[in-house]
Amino acid sequence: MYEQRNTIYDTMLEGKSKIINRSRRSKGKKYDSLFIYIPSDVTKDSTFPFRSDEEVIVRIDKDRLIIEKSKQ
C-alpha cells in the first residue's frame, strides 16, 4: 500500500489516497464537502507534520494541492 522513496532531499513515506465527496443538503441546496483520505501508515510516520483536527491552509499551485500548517 505504501512505499518509501529515496530522494536527493530526504526519505519520504508515500501512500495511495482518495478524494471522497460527502455531499449534503441544507435548505434545499446541495453542498459538496471533499475529504482527502491519508493512509494510517503515512500518518503514523514520525515526520508526519499534522495532528487530528488541526487547522491547515490548502492552496492550489499549478497542478499540485499544497497543505500547510496554519500560521495562527
Say how far apart CA 40 and CA 32 lie, in whole Å: 25
Check pLDDT > 60 for residue 3.
no
Specify the pLDDT at position 46: 86
In the predicted model, is pLDDT for residue 5 greater than 80?
no
* 33-53 pLDDT, tens digit each: 999 999 988 898 888 999 999
What is the pLDDT at residue 8? 43
Residue 36 has a pLDDT of: 92
Task: Match 482518495 to its residue by C-alpha cell.
Answer: 18
Query: What pLDDT is recorded for position 10?
Result: 55
Closest CA to 50 of 72, 23, 70, 64: 70
Predicted TM-score (pTM) of the model is 0.64
